Structure 1
Amino acid sequence: MLYTPYMPTYQELARDSGLERPDIHALFHHLGGYNRAFLITHGDEMAEPAFAEHFTRLAARRRAGEPVAYLLGEKEFYSLTFNVGPGVLIPRPDTELLVDLALERLPQGGALVDLGTGSGIIAITIAHERPDAVVTALDISDAALDIARGNAARLAPQVRVLQSDWYAALGDGQFAVIVSNPPYIEQDDPHLEKGDLRFEPRSALTDEADGLAHIRTIIDGARTRLLPGGWLLFEHGFDQGLASRDLLDAAGFGAVQTWQDIAGMDRVSGGLAPA
């Protein structure tokens, strides 16, 4: 008699995975296109062998702490789906505030540059929302640039993606808006060893200093690369609003302000180009 291996049902796969319900739903949709109602209507059916194998493998990686976005290879941001991977930060809703502020201040046909673009979410979203804009995205990481270029080709092909150590590749170019979500976590912050941050690229999270080193570089370089009336806007930690405003004031920026995210935490600071 031939041995027929036991195949679990979809409900058993979910139950025995050790995952939270949202993670189960995300993996079921990713692997089979199954919606949230699938486990109710088809949960007692025998799982397809290939589905069971792939789900079990991804569930093990998730139990080990790997972010769901890396398992799926994608993450939604501003109602767009971006490809992501271990070479870039996972998009977070807080960063949508930076996009909103930039869109409000970007003139018709204006030029914008995104410093340290990562997966390209900021630059590409702005270009998608404003096809008239001239958008440039910069990053120093080869891994990030590969992902950003792929996202741009799919969502906003007009975005220029360049390798650059902050402003180095821009020459004398000037911009109506400069935006950035730089590495701003202090080097000894315990959060770097917790949750999703354990798997994200450390160089995209921390400046290996006080969390303000890259912000200082961005502010200093923006003084000569902003057009008159242009805006610098950058994301930072919830406790870095005051320090960011002090740096902007010292560099001669006007209308210096900090904006709060949906949780009421300081999240973005910026100001007008120095006179």
Structure 2
Amino acid sequence: MTAPQDAASPGQALAWALALGRDRLGDVDDPMRDARLLLAHAAGLERGQLTRLDVADFTPEMITAYLALIDQRAAGRPVSKILGYRDFWKYRFAVSEEVLDPRPDTETLVEVALAQPFGRVLDLGTGSGCILLSLLAEQAQASGLGTDLSEAALNVARQNAGALGVQARAEFVISDWFAAITGPFDLIVSNPPYIALHEMPGLAREVRAHDPRMALTDEGDGLAAYRAIVVKAGQYLRPGGRILLEIGPTQGAEVARFLSDAGFDEVEILPDLDGRDRVVGAIWPL
């Protein structure tokens, strides 16, 4: 299949290919955006470079590859898992079926963490490493440790550390929260599994099918990870050290109470760009 023979310009050929992909994508959230991303990938370009394509570039081979990607997306596979990467914060991270797909909401946690200096940071449940590695890329003097229960996830994080050039300052270990950790740290961050079991059926199909289940839910009320982290976090923080936890938008008050009950000071609930509660932060007392 090639672009129509009467395509008089690259623009017409591009419009034809994008419309073809859009129509095959059906009811995905933004079919034209996804079609542009997948066409660019099939053509070996970035999305913003699609206007470089000439009519002759729309070969049968390229269109076949493009439609194969479109069919994966139409079947519910996330674009990031098709492309093998996700852009997060200022950087590009490799992703796979073994890691949680980084989401823009999590950039709030990175922004808050960077508002104050830190030397050593612990990222509990690091997954792709997107939080830890974004922080290290922004703070050239900092070092950090990322933990996860999945060796496959840690291999993705190590790959990303190398791609960002921070591998000398980033360490990754298998650990069940603090089980294999020694401190102290200036900063602890985590985006733990916070989806309650009863909420799982309401998640988008692509999330349920393509993000690791253990990165999504604690199989209970969605708060088990916070209980486990908060009760021990003070033992691993320097006096005056910070903890920052991503939360679901209804969990702020309870997680804040956990931190207060554990002896943390200056507990605050911070919103994301949409105004929803997204991060709970606190300070370990001096």
Q: Same fold (TM over 0.5)?
A: yes
CA RMSD of the aligned region, Å?
2.0
How do residues 18-97 of structure 1 correspond to structure 2 at under 5 angstroms?
18-19=24-25, 20-32=31-43, 33=45, 35=47, 38=50, 42=54, 45=56, 47-97=58-108
User: What one-letter code is carried by the residue in structure 1 that aligns with 2:195?
Assistant: I
Residue 50 (structure 1) shift: 2.5
Structure 1 residues 83 and 192: alpha-carbon distance in aligned structure 2, compared to 1, 3 A threshold: farther
User: What one-letter code is carried by the residue in structure 2 that aligns with 1:103?
Assistant: L
SS of the counterpart of 2:250? coil
Contact kept, 8 Å, 2:121 with 2:142, in 1: the verdict is yes
Deviation string for 1:127-160 (max 9, x for gaps)? 0000101211111112211110100111121211
Whether 1:116 aligns to 2:120 is no
Contact kept, 8 Å, 1:245 with 1:257, in 2: the verdict is yes
Distance 2:155 2:67 in 1: 29
User: What one-letter code is carried by the residue in structure 1 that aligns with 2:175?
Assistant: S
- The percent of aligned pairs where both chains have the same amino acid is 38
Whether 1:255 aligns to 2:259 is no
| Structure 1 equivalent of residue 191 of structure 2 | 181
Distance 1:35 1:180 in 2: 31
SS of the counterpart of 1:223? helix
User: What one-letter code is carried by the residue in structure 2 that aligns with 1:72?
Assistant: L
| Structure 2 equivalent of residue 151 of structure 1 | 160
Residue 197 (structure 1) shift: 1.3
Runs of 4+ in 1 over 6 A off after TM superposition: none
| Structure 2 equivalent of residue 3 of structure 1 | none
Structure 1 residues 80 and 38: alpha-carbon distance in aligned structure 2, compared to 1, 3 A threshold: closer
Whether 1:133 aligns to 2:142 is yes
Deviation string for 1:17-58 (max 9, x for gaps)? 32311111101221211655746974x557223312221111
Contact kept, 8 Å, 1:112 with 1:136, in 2: the verdict is yes
Distance 2:78 2:117 in 1: 34
User: What one-letter code is carried by the residue in structure 2 that aligns with 1:188?
Assistant: H
Structure 1 residues 38 and 229: alpha-carbon distance in aligned structure 2, compared to 1, 3 A threshold: closer
Distance 1:35 1:190 in 2: 32
Distance 2:73 2:82 in 1: 8
SS of the counterpart of 1:66? coil
- Which stretches in structure 1 are left out of the alignment for 5+ residues? 1-5
Structure 1 residues 46 and 252: alpha-carbon distance in aligned structure 2, compared to 1, 3 A threshold: closer
| Structure 1 equivalent of residue 18 of structure 2 | 14
User: What one-letter code is carried by the residue in structure 2 that aligns with 1:180?
Assistant: S
User: What one-letter code is carried by the residue in structure 1 that aligns with 2:125?
Assistant: G
Structure 1 residues 99 and 36: alpha-carbon distance in aligned structure 2, compared to 1, 3 A threshold: closer
The normalised TM-score by structure 2 is 0.87
Contact kept, 8 Å, 2:18 with 2:39, in 1: the verdict is no
SS of the counterpart of 2:281? strand
Contact kept, 8 Å, 1:191 with 1:197, in 2: the verdict is no
Structure 1 residues 134 and 208: alpha-carbon distance in aligned structure 2, compared to 1, 3 A threshold: same
| Structure 1 equivalent of residue 204 of structure 2 | 194
SS of the counterpart of 1:177? strand
How do residues 204-215 of structure 1 correspond to structure 2 at under 5 angstroms?
204-215=215-226
Structure 1 residues 191 and 104: alpha-carbon distance in aligned structure 2, compared to 1, 3 A threshold: farther
Distance 2:52 2:160 in 1: 35
**Corresponding residue pairs, total:** 266
47-56 or 129-138, which moves further after superposition? 47-56
